[in-house]
Amino acid sequence: MHAQAVILDRPERLGLARLALDAPGPADATVEVAWSGISTGTERLLWSGRMPDFPGMGYPLVPGYESIGRVVEAGPESGRRVGETVFVPGARCFGPVRGLFGGAASHLVAAGSRLRPIPDSLGERGILLALAATAHHALAGSEGRGRQLIVGHGVLGRLLARIARIDGLDPVVWERDPARRGAGTGYKVIDPDQDETSYARVIDASGDAGLLDRLIARLAPGGEVVLAGFYEAPLSFAFPPAFLREARIRVAAQWQPGDLDAVAALAGSGALSLDGLVTHRRPAGEAEAAYRTAFGDADCLKMVLDWRAQP
């Protein structure tokens, strides 16, 4: 079986290619993809060639870890059934071509245990479950008490704020871009230069490696900075301000299956709204232009590739 897949031959050289899929085993399922999302964090680094050393790194590669599709073949040990709508957090099924993270293709083969059934009603918004799980993991890694600050009002920042509200917290969000300060649902979005508040927990969703000193300066005594972005540059900080506050710094690693299950349930029940986050859509055949828009257009919060017309 073959699939049409987004392939990065080298930095800033991207297009569609027809790739042979690995044969599925008894524990695997084959998924016909309807939509996949473009990550402006890790995928931007892969596209630009600035990705730090990472397991499996190298070109050519198939990017993507935010795919929604329908199971068209299910192995007897896969735990999946034909016709299910599932979220696919990437795949490694393209033979010698690396899957990093391998979700941007018309068809995928993956272990059934990695797939998460989701309600059909989520539609294209289901691609947001990976970022929602990232937000859930960042928030769940420590007890949230006192004032909460989220840095960055992109998709991850908005999901952090929405889940924090579900958890009974009252977050404030910092955003430098005036165009992105709107659309807060039940929380404040402010210019960081206008804020002198101290916070019990600061969650960075910006990926800006140069912010750490400023974030530590906004901590209350014993406060915590959570690094929820992906950082291409080394991070450092001045010791005295961190010492005076007895600051804690925590890295929120990749989400776990329990995080994905939690946010899928919240989104499926309507408790977690995924509305207003997908702003741009392109047919998968226009992938090259779609990636450039996703990475270069400040108005693009989230770009979705539509695979339904691909052979």
DSSP 176: S
| Residue 146 and residue 112 in one domain | no
pLDDT of residue 154: 93
Q: Which residues, 6+ apart, have CB-to-CB distance to 161 below 8 Å?
A: 150, 153, 171, 173, 184, 185, 187
Cis check: omega of the bond before 94, within 30 degrees of 0? no
270 assigned to some structural domain: no
pLDDT of residue 145: 85
| Residue 135 and residue 73 in one domain | no
| Residue 112 and residue 137 in one domain | no
Q: Pick the closest to residue 132 from 97, 87, 93 (CA basis).
A: 87
Distance CA 77, CA 81 (A): 10
173 assigned to some structural domain: yes
pLDDT of residue 219: 97
pLDDT of residue 176: 93
20 assigned to some structural domain: yes
Q: Per residue of the chain (311 residues), what is the pLDDT tens digit?
A: 899 999 999 999 999 999 999 999 999 999 999 999 999 888 998 988 888 777 778 899 999 999 999 999 999 999 999 999 999 999 999 999 988 899 999 999 999 999 999 999 999 999 999 999 999 999 998 888 899 999 999 999 999 999 999 999 999 999 999 988 876 678 999 999 999 999 999 999 998 999 999 999 999 999 999 999 888 889 999 999 999 999 999 999 889 999 999 999 999 999 999 999 999 999 999 999 999 999 999 899 999 999 998 76
Residue 82: phi, psi to the nearest 5?
-60, 135
Q: Is residue 144 classed as helix, strand or coil in its secondary structure?
A: coil
Q: Which domain holds residue 80?
A: 2-117+279-306
Q: Is 25 exposed, middle or buried (CB count within 10 Å of its CB: 0-12, 13-18, 19+)?
A: exposed
| Residue 242 and residue 160 in one domain | yes
Distance CA 113, CA 247 (A): 39
| Residue 108 and residue 136 in one domain | no
| Residue 10 and residue 107 in one domain | yes
| Residue 243 and residue 287 in one domain | no
261 assigned to some structural domain: no
pLDDT of residue 58: 86
Residue 282: phi, psi to the nearest 5?
-145, 145
Sequence length of the chain is 311
126 assigned to some structural domain: no
Which domain-ending residue is among 251, 269, 292? 251
DSSP string, 211-248: GHHHHHHTEEEEEEEEE-S--SSPP---HHHHHHHT-E
| Residue 216 and residue 190 in one domain | yes
DSSP 310: -
Distance CA 308, CA 82 (A): 17
CATH number assigned to the domain comprising residue 218: 3.40.50.720
Q: Pick the closest to residue 170 from 191, 135, 199, 193 (CA basis).
A: 199
pLDDT of residue 183: 65
The distance of Cα 188 from the centroid of its chain, to the nearest Å, equals 23
Indicate the number of domains in the chain.
Answer: 2
| Residue 168 and residue 67 in one domain | no
260 assigned to some structural domain: no
pLDDT of residue 163: 97
Burial 120-133 (b: 16+ CB within 10 A, else e): eebbbbbbbbbbbb
| Residue 151 and residue 190 in one domain | yes
- H-state helical runs in the chain: 42-48, 129-140, 155-166, 212-217, 239-245, 257-269, 287-296
pLDDT of residue 215: 97
On whether the CB atoms of residues 67 and 104 are closer than 8 A, the answer is yes
Distance CA 240, CA 238 (A): 6
pLDDT of residue 105: 97
